[in-house]
């Protein structure tokens, strides 16, 4: 049950696009459609942003999009805004019926 691999940090200027990767194996990310993404601001509970690879949760701006290729899932934020500065985590179902989170990525808006 190793954590999925995410870059520790990603940054961009307002209005730019950034992409966060989430790399697992064929036993988790690559094998299932149940990949989700969460946004967490400091001292707050996480918020579901994307579920089942590419579906936006209710109220999430369409600037956020998700995709998957092989064992790697990606979250793209287009038109980066100051309020997007936060930590982001991916999560996946696994072949042993457990769940696993990614290592987390800190997004900085320059």
Partner 1 sequence: EVQLVESGGGLVQPGGSLRLSCVASGFTFSSYWMSWVRQAPGKGLEWVANIKEDGSEKYYVDSVKGRFTISRDNAKNSLYLQMNGLRAEDTAVYFCVRRGTNFDYWGQGTLVTVSS
User: Is there a contact between 106 and 9 (Cβ–Cβ < 8 Å)?
Assistant: yes
C-beta closer to partner 1: residue 3 or 15: 3
Please say which residue, 14 or 61, places its beta carbon nearer to partner 1. Answer: 61
Q: How far is the CB of 91 from partner 1 (least distance, A)?
A: 7
Spatial separation of the C-alpha atoms in residues 93 and 82, rounded to whole Å: 31
Cβ proximity to partner 1: between 13 and 42 the closer is 42
Residue 11 Cβ vs partner 1, minimum distance, rounded to whole Å? 19
**CA 34/CA 75 separation, integer angstroms:** 14
């Amino acid at each position: 049950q190793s954590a999925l691999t995410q870059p520790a940090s990603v940054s961009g200027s307002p209005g730019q696009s950034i992409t966060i990767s989430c790399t697992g194996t064929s036993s988790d990310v690559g094998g299932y459609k149940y990949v989700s993404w969460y946004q967490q601001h400091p001292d707050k509970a996480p918020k579901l942003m994307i579920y089942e690879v590419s579906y936006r949760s209710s109220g999430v701006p369409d600037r956020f999009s998700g995709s998957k290729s092989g064992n790697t899932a990606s979250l793209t934020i287009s038109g980066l805004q100051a309020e997007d500065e936060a930590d982001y985590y991916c999560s996946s179902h696994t072949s042993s019926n457990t769940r696993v989170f990614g290592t987390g990525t800190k997004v900085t808006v320059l």
